[in-house]
Amino acid sequence: MGMRSLLLSRIPTSHDTYNSALTGKHMTKTLLFFFIIINLFLPTLLTPIKTVNAQSTEIIFNPSKIQVAEQSNFTVQIQTLNAPQFIMFWITINYNTTVMDALNASTWQGGYINIDEDQGTIDLCATTLQPLEGNQTLATIIFKAIKSSNSTLQFTNTQIDDPQNNPIPHTTETAQIEIVGPINLTLQTSKKSYYLGENVTVYGNSTVEDSPISSLVGLEIWTREGPKLTRIANSSYIPSTTEWPVNIINFYPSDEYGNPTSGFTAGYQAYFTITVQNLKDENLPILIVINVFDMYKTIIGFTIFQGTIFKSSQIMFIGPVLIQKSAFSGTATAYVNIFSDWPKNQGIPYYPEKAVNFQITGGSTGTPPTFPPSNQTFSAQFNITFRLPPTGGLAKWEVYATTAYKIQTAITKASFVAANLFVDDDKPADFNSIQSAINAANDTNTIYVYNGSYYENIKINKTISIVGENAEATIIDGRKLDIVVNITKSNAKVFDMKIINSGATPPYDTGIGIFSYSCKVVGCIVTNNSIGIKVQNTESAYISQNTINTNNYGIMIIDSNNSDITENSILNNSYGIFLSGTTSVNTEIENGIIISNNFGIYLLNSSYATITGSLITNNTYGLTLTGISCNYNEISNSHVSLNTVGITLNSSRYNKIDNSNISCNLNYGIWINGSDNNQIYSNNFINNTNHVYASASANQWNSSYPQGGNYWDNYNGIDERYGPNQDQLGSDGIGDTPHQVSGLENVDYYPLMKPPFIQDIGITNIFLSKTLVAKGYPMRIYVRIVNYGSKQQNFNLTVYLNGTCLNSQVITISGRNFTVVTFWWNTTGATIGNYTTSAYASTLEYEADLTNNNLIGSEMIKVWPLAADFNADGRVNAGDFYLLARAYGATPSSPRWNPNIDVNEDGKIGPYDFYILSKNYGKNL
């Protein structure tokens, strides 16, 4: 704390103390005014002063009303309205140091600033250096809001004088500062675990500084199946006068064309129509969610619209919701809620929830099951109650809440579990073993398994979901006896379990066996089995987000199609992923981490597999494609590095490897034997001991021009030509000579000069239409720029003359391409002399090479005062006539072309140039 003084430009002394006595401040003010007048203001005394109505002069804060979040910075300007052209001022501002800090202040050049942090004052003094025009900013001050409060900024002393030191009458105002503290948003559920079909109450409080606030709270309930429910609750009383950004004009059940109706039949589609008006003079992002509940508040479904509502406009949305056959007949309710985005994404409610009733007919006439009451009481500002559906949700439910109050926003989260059956090995639950729960379950049931060790070999022969509490601690141990989890029914799901200790010999040697279609294994740890996960004689298996380590085979897929293997970590197995069989087609392996296996990914006679976005590293063999039927597979956007052999192609044809990084492999980047007609391009080959070995194989190592081939770190060619035949002058990011990959049959005809999926642009040349230009006449500057990467880029290209900007253009170049950009220079206002050209391309995000974003032209431009003096000897005479006559009729393609004689830059030497010569003939400098 203390005082900080600053004289902008120069000041002889600073205040060592702050004295509130009027005489001390007057003396300081007088000395400062004298100093300013002598050094800066005296020349203006001779300038005629434009008079204004002095009575109308005001000193104000801008803005005068500020709402700021606690611990945030805010800026205030001190402005004068209707002041004379020349003034000098002394202003003192008072602020409350307990709720805000003054961080910095600035005023005109030569002015004086003193911030006294103890007294909470800011002194400002300055004088105009040039005539004021209109309303002017005298100073800018940056504050930090440190504590929630309503406070003010006040002028406690102001003086404005004219150049003759006469006071100028003026008025001042006070600024109102509201500092808003953070929102404390709490969220709870009435229990931590529920049976599906049970009522759930979600509740909480929204406060600032321990005081309840009036706000809307957006609630979203989310499962692994996606959002289930989105509602808006009122936190405390919401005044009817509250202004919302949107208005709901109408909301009603309807047919698909928007015609009103009173009800719907179970098993059929229902429709709801809503019209929303944007009350703001700006476009707003908008999310409309219509939730539908039956007479017992059971979630039926929802429909959404998400997009933009344009300023001061309306949108009408007709949303469909399927009324399930199991829905209860009777009076149902639809709720419409409007947000900026999903609450999970911190979307803020726009308008209070609105409801409409309608009738469901043809549905269930029974009653939902009853459950023991929770007998829990709570006190809350907001709450909603709903009934869980009888099936679905995959056990783990998350509740997100968002709210906004003035300038603050908040988001929080709670969670609960919901299932049909619960299993716990050592605590009270429905069952103590998983198989017992499976035997008791019905199709579509969800079984939730608490943490524990379950020594079982389970068989899933129903369409059910089994979900563990935590994959690290919910363990099924097969005791090395049999398949640990044997799935024989379609659409079964296993989530968040640890699967260990399968049997050692077939057919007992599998951790998780999938032997029926459309089954899912997600979020599991599968370790210490002979085969981690086996998919056999089935289709559409989904295996995602698992950790599969220390098995003989991590994932084995045998004669199964359309398998989706995504985002798995596969470590320390003999075979990471093993595909076999001519019917194992259309397998997708995406975003995998394949590390420290003997064979990372092994395809045996499998076709049409795609391997994308994967990290394949530190394996003995990274990817292996082998067998005469191992064809039409694609490897793309992957990193294959630090393996003994990166990629092996053995008797495999018509495969494609592109946009991948093949680097630092110990023996070979790619090893090829007896494999033809494979396409391998747009890859990086960097730091492999041997990039490629190819035996009895002929493959395609480049795409067409200008996409090109691969980047080879041992390619020694140059890039001075472009075009499909590399025979036109100018670079294009492709080497001018082919690269011999391996043997005579494997050639990259378009080797890349830089890695293909980097971000890099480079200016290669600056060309001039002429080097001698007469003042007042135009010329052109050409800039050639190359996109070395594979993606389209947008950037700014600027040309400078002797360091001064001539012009800037926004440029778009497609991947692995170039363009020549033309800049015109009208030399009418140019100074006579020599000019150096340079060009600068703005930097791309993550650009690999910045050195080629700048280039200085190799030729100088001479701006000459005498038009038609073609030899620049200071005279227009016979020598110039000879040069023109010699080039007369020439165009740029002619050998007689001389660009300096094309005075008007029209691309031909003709009558106009002769006219300029005759007009100036005989003139001398």
| Each residue's pLDDT tens digit, 412-421 | 999 999 999 9
Q: Find the mean pLDDT for residues 2-19.
A: 37
Beta pairing, strands 269-278 & 314-322: antiparallel
pTM of the full structure? 0.79
Maximum Cα–Cα distance for the chain, whole Å? 114
Topology agreement, domain 3-180 and domain 758-865 = yes
Examine the pLDDT at 40 and tell me if it is beyond 60.
Answer: no
Cα separation, 918 vs 925, whole angstroms: 16
User: Confidence class of residue 114 from pLDDT cuts 50, 70 and 90?
Assistant: very high
Kindly write down the DSSP assignment for every residue of 745-796, as one continuous string: TEEESS-BSS-TTSB-EEEEEEEES-SEEETTSEEEEEEEEEE-SSS-EEEE
Q: Find the mean pLDDT for residues 488-517.
A: 97
User: Confidence class of residue 13 from pLDDT cuts 50, 70 and 90?
Assistant: very low
Q: Which of 120-129, 329-338, 916-925 has the highest mean pLDDT?
A: 329-338
Per-residue pLDDT tens for 568-608? Answer: 999 999 999 999 998 899 999 999 999 999 999 999 999 99
- Do 528 and 534 form a contact (C-beta atoms < 8 A)? no
Provide the pLDDT for residue 439: 98
Give the Cα-Cα-Cα angle 669, 671, 672 (nearest 5 degrees).
140
Examine the pLDDT at 160 and tell me if it is beyond 50.
Answer: yes
User: Confidence class of residue 26 from pLDDT cuts 50, 70 and 90?
Assistant: very low
Task: Write out the H or E segment, with its range, that includes residue 21.
Answer: none
610 CB-contact burial (10 Å; exposed 0-12 / middle 13-18 / buried 19+): middle
Cα separation, 144 vs 68, whole angstroms: 9
Cα separation, 600 vs 821, whole angstroms: 48
Examine the pLDDT at 714 and tell me if it is beyond 70.
Answer: yes
Q: Find the mean pLDDT for residues 312-335.
A: 95
Q: What is the dotted CATH code of the domain comprising 183-418?
A: 2.70.50.60
Q: What is the dotted CATH code of the domain comprising 3-180?
A: 2.60.40.680
- Do 93 and 114 form a contact (C-beta atoms < 8 A)? no
CATH architecture of 758-865: Sandwich (2.60)
| Range with the poorest average pLDDT among 642-656, 688-702, 724-738 | 724-738
Task: Write out the H or E segment, with its range, that includes residue 618.
Answer: none
Examine the pLDDT at 41 and tell me if it is beyond 90.
Answer: no
Q: Where are the domains of the chain?
A: 3-180, 183-418, 758-865, 868-925
Cα separation, 593 vs 546, whole angstroms: 10
Q: What is the dotted CATH code of the domain comprising 868-925?
A: 1.10.1330.10
Q: Find the mean pLDDT for residues 49-65.
A: 73
SS3 623: strand
User: Confidence class of residue 165 from pLDDT cuts 50, 70 and 90?
Assistant: confident
